[in-house]
Amino acid sequence: MKMPHTVIPLFIAALLLASSATAETQRPNIIVIYTDDQGFGDASVLNPDAKFETPNLDRLASEGISFTNGHSSDSVCTPSRYGLLTGRYSWRTTKKTGVQGADTPALIAKGRMTLASLLRADGYNTAMVGKWHLGMDIPGTLGKRDFSKPIKDMPLDKGFDYFYGIPASLNYGYLAWIEGRYTKVPPTLYTAKKPNDRHMDYRIMPHYFKTAEEAKALHGAVPIEVAPDFVDTECLARFIEKSIEWMEGKAEAAKAGKPFFLYLPFTSPHYPVAPRPEFWGKGEAGGYGEFVIETDYHVGRVLAYLEEAGLDENTLIFFSSDNGPERSWIERIEEFNHDSSGIYKEGKRSIYEGGHRVPFFARWPAGIKSPGRSWEKLVGQVDILATVAELIGAEIPHEAGEDSQSFYSVLRDPKSDAKRLPLLNHSINGRFSITEGKWKLIMPHKNLKRELYDLENDPGEENNVYAKNAEIAANLERKITEIVTRGRTTPGAKQPNDTGYWNDLAWLSEDEYKQLTD
């Protein structure tokens, strides 16, 4: 029977709607771009007084969501990366303070769920390109390496199918390009920190030395193993080239329904501040500004590739930084009137907002409703795991993602009323804070007393109102005690921390901790 003409448009419209819904709900490719020591004020979309422009970061915000109350879980490298990948606070492990070196035991325990293992189990191709800084087992020791042996307990053992990158920051002792489980060009030479003519920090560049003693004698610093082809200025370009090469190999599979996950942790703008010559003279904040501009440029290269490959529409990009800016933020204020922390207090290593409130953007053209908006409520990088799990319809077992709470509804619904459970932050020396809504309680530590701030009215943490709000402070203290001792923030079965009591829990006695964790 011939279908009436009036029905045909309705039938076609229904098919189009179904097609649109399928496109929107199809599992997206996921990319996490993670910068290193980039402060909240180092993105021009977040800082109207910035002395340089970041057009590609601004584009992520204008075409997605800017989480203006977004936080790394710690104020330094290693623990923030652990929290991002596992959805669990690093201080629950043996790593209570500081960061790891290049050649140290892996912090992510065998069998622990990561973003990569979650997505690989759901059929994703997975890759990591960039800086790891979570420990790996590199055979041998300084000057006594066996490069014929594979590297163990590293990204390929944590859910990633492919790895290209470096073990840790460029100030740690093993600098070479690793692909898979093997060092491409062995670090048979030695170097140490050298003067940097574009910044106040250091460089890692030729010429290199045949012995560790020569490097130490000339520079007076701890020797670093280095490959003959390693130069600090090449990190960003190499990471992007390898990322695009890998995505090219997975593009057709992604279009056919097998998406990919790429974790892309940059080495910038962490020391050494080493922009390539084509970025010299850009911006008005010296070498540091040039380096952030180069970082932004490489984000743009990722966006350009996705468009060219026809992958842009259904690729979800998360962008953030592992902590606030390095101490040179003080000099930038004085010399350039550029504040890398924006309106927030202090920077890297600090428990104050400048230490962990960082740029945090999400862009997903096919999935984010009403792009170009900001979300001002609390959100943490630890929450990406649960968000991705909800997106793909996966269950997180009780013994994984203990501190991760999904903000998926925020992506999909501009009117979402999502409210995060209390978020804990942590400084390099082990001091804790807890934030719920507008209130932030900083816990006692050694000779430091409690501090309470109303972040809604005092985002710069200038006025400690602890003495006037004892009940609010006591309520927050009860909650941080519960989160620490239950082994989790989220509902679910109580989980053990990896150690017993430690001294940074200054508001609790060891006996109280034991009673609450038994």
pLDDT digits 0-9 by tens, 149-162: 999 999 999 999 99
Q: If 0-12 CB within 10 Å is exposed, 13-18 middle and 19+ buried, where does residue 336 land?
A: middle
**309 and 337 share one domain:** yes
* Same-domain check for residues 329 and 448: no
CATH number of the structural domain spanning residue 447: 3.30.1120
pTM for this prediction? 0.95
| Strand-pair category, 315-321 with 423-426 | unpaired
C-alpha distances out from residue 68 to 45, 61, 345, Å:
10, 10, 15
Residues 41 and 110 in one domain: yes
Cα–Cα distances in angstroms (integers) from residue 192 to residues 202, 237, 267, 286, in the given order: 9, 23, 18, 24
Residue 491 forms part of a structural domain: yes
What is the Cα–Cα distance from 89 to 91, expressed in whole angstroms? 6
What would the mean pLDDT of 257-275 be, rounded to a whole number?
98
Of 44-58, 181-195, 248-262, 399-413, the range with the lowest mean pLDDT is: 181-195
**Radius of gyration (C-alpha) of the chain in whole angstroms:** 23
Residues 394 and 451 in one domain: no
Tell me, what's the pLDDT at 217? 87
Whether the Cβ atoms of residue 338 and residue 287 lie closer than 8 Å to each other: no
pLDDT at residue 205 in the model: 92
CATH number of the domain where residue 405 is located: 3.40.720.10
Q: Domain end: 362, 384, 412, which one?
A: 412
Among 358, 382, 412, residue at a domain's last position: 412
What single DSSP character describes residue 448?
B
What average pLDDT score do residues 409-433 get? 98
Q: Report the pLDDT averaged over residues 279-287.
A: 98
* Residues 6 or more apart in contact with residue 196 via CB below 8 angstroms: 202, 203, 272, 273, 274, 287
Least confidently predicted of 84-88, 204-208, 284-288, 478-482: 204-208
Residues 448 and 376 in one domain: no
Coil vs helix vs strand at 202:
strand
How many beta carbons lie within 10 A of that of residue 277, not counting itself?
9
pLDDT confidence tier of residue 234, bands split at 50, 70 and 90: very high
Q: For residue 476, report the phi and psi dihedrals to the nearest 5 degrees.
A: -65, -35
Listed residues 355, 378, 412: the one ending a domain? 412
Task: Check pLDDT > 90 for residue 319.
Answer: yes
275 and 172 housed in the same domain:
yes
Q: What is the pLDDT of residue 142?
A: 83
pLDDT for res 24: 43
Which residue segment(s) compose the domain that 440 sits in? 431-517
Q: Are residues 238 and 369 in the same domain?
A: yes
Helix (H, G, I), strand (E, B) or coil at 311: coil
Q: Is 435 left (phi over 0), alpha (psi -120 to 50) or beta?
A: beta
Coil/strand/helix, residue 119 = helix
Do residue 313 and residue 377 come from a single domain? yes
Query: What's phi and psi for 278, nearest 5 deg?
Result: -65, -10
Same domain, 387 and 442: no
Q: Is residue 9 part of a domain?
A: no
| pLDDT of res. 143 | 82
pLDDT tens-digit series, residues 97-134 = 999 999 999 999 999 999 999 999 999 999 999 999 99
The whole-number pLDDT of residue 3 equals: 39
Distance CA(432)–CA(426), nearest Å, equals 5
255 pLDDT exceeds 90?
A: yes
Q: Assess whether 443 and 317 both reside in one domain.
A: no
Look over the chain and give the mean of its residue pLDDT values, rounded to a whole number: 94
11 falls within a domain: no
CA–CA distance, 314 with 23 (Å, rounded to integer):
8
Token readout for 446 is 């050694």
Both 30 and 109 in one domain: the answer is yes
pLDDT at 15: 39
Task: Answer whether residue 420 is part of any domain.
Answer: no
Q: What is the pLDDT of residue 401?
A: 98
Q: Of residues 17 and 511, which shows the higher confidence score?
A: 511
Residue 469: phi and psi, rounded to 5, are -135, 55
The tally of domains found in the chain comes to: 2
3-state DSSP assignment of residue 265:
strand
Of the candidates 367, 395, 311, which has an alpha carbon nearest to the alpha carbon of residue 121?
395
pLDDT at 284: 98
